[in-house]
A = this chain, B = another copy of it.
Amino acid sequence: MLQNLIKHIRKFIELDDHSIEVLNKYFKKNSYKKKEFLLKEGQVCRSLYFVEQGCLRMYFTNDKMNEQITQFAKENWWISDFFSFADNKPSGYYIQTVEKSDVLSIDTLSFEAMLKELPQMERYLRIIMQNAVAASQRRIKYMYELSKEEFYLHFCNSFPEFVQRVPQYMIASYLGLTPEYVSELRKKNL
């Protein structure tokens, strides 16, 4: 049931049969259709989400009422508003499926209980979080280093599957570009 998650955890730490049962107790699996919401602005983000299958996006709406995507999550990625999750503060984000998806979730209380019962999971999560920090550092470096055109091309080269899978205007939004400008860049670069 938690196959992808378990495979993922086992890349970093060992996990015996009993531990798997414990995980089964705390994680819930949900299936969503395209464009369903897991979190809406103003709600407290009470869970961490792990994508078993499919693709999610996290976005907020700015003054002019258009959507700014800040994160995608596909298979084997974790996603959450960590600020809202940690402090029980209302979130400024939406989390929504981009396509039909299966998602595991664990809420605040289960999370703490799970960590108490399986302290070795602290190590797994520490590594995951550390990798996420590394990824953020890279992302911010690219944002400062590259022009918007270079940033777009770099993204297309780095994640060609994503570019195929996700509509163009969402890629534009994620990169902080207008759909019009992306269209111009596509024409220009074949």
> Which residues 133-161 of A have a CB within 8 angstroms of B?
133-134, 136-141, 143-145
Within 8 Å CB of A136, what residues of B? 132-133, 136, 140
Say yes or no: is A125 at the interface (Cβ < 8 Å to chain B): yes
Say yes or no: is A60 at the interface (Cβ < 8 Å to chain B): yes
A83-B144 contact, Cβ under 8 Å, with A122-B122, A122-B123, A123-B122: no
Across the interface, A126 reaches (CB within 8 A) one of B71, B125, B137, namely B125
Within 8 Å CB of A70, what residues of B? 137, 140-141, 144
Say yes or no: is A130 at the interface (Cβ < 8 Å to chain B): yes
Across the interface, A137 reaches (CB within 8 A) one of B68, B81, B138, namely B81
A123 to B125, CA, bound (A): 9
A132 to B176, CA, bound (A): 22
Across the interface, A123 reaches (CB within 8 A) one of B119, B133, B134, namely B119
Within 8 Å CB of A119, what residues of B? 119-120, 122-123
A82-B130 contact, Cβ under 8 Å, with A70-B137, A122-B123, A123-B119: yes
- Do the beta carbons of B68 and A144 come within 8 Å of each other? yes
Say yes or no: is A62 at the interface (Cβ < 8 Å to chain B): yes
A133-B134 contact, Cβ under 8 Å, with A60-B145, A92-B141, A141-B70: no
Say yes or no: is A88 at the interface (Cβ < 8 Å to chain B): no
A57 to B115, CA, bound (A): 34
Within 8 Å CB of A140, what residues of B? 70, 136, 139-140
- Do the beta carbons of B138 and A83 come within 8 Å of each other? yes
A-B contact pairs, 8 of them (CB 8 A): A62-B145, A68-B144, A71-B137, A82-B134, A82-B137, A83-B138, A119-B122, A132-B136
3 smallest CB-CB distances across A and B, nearest first, come from A129-B129, A136-B136, A82-B134
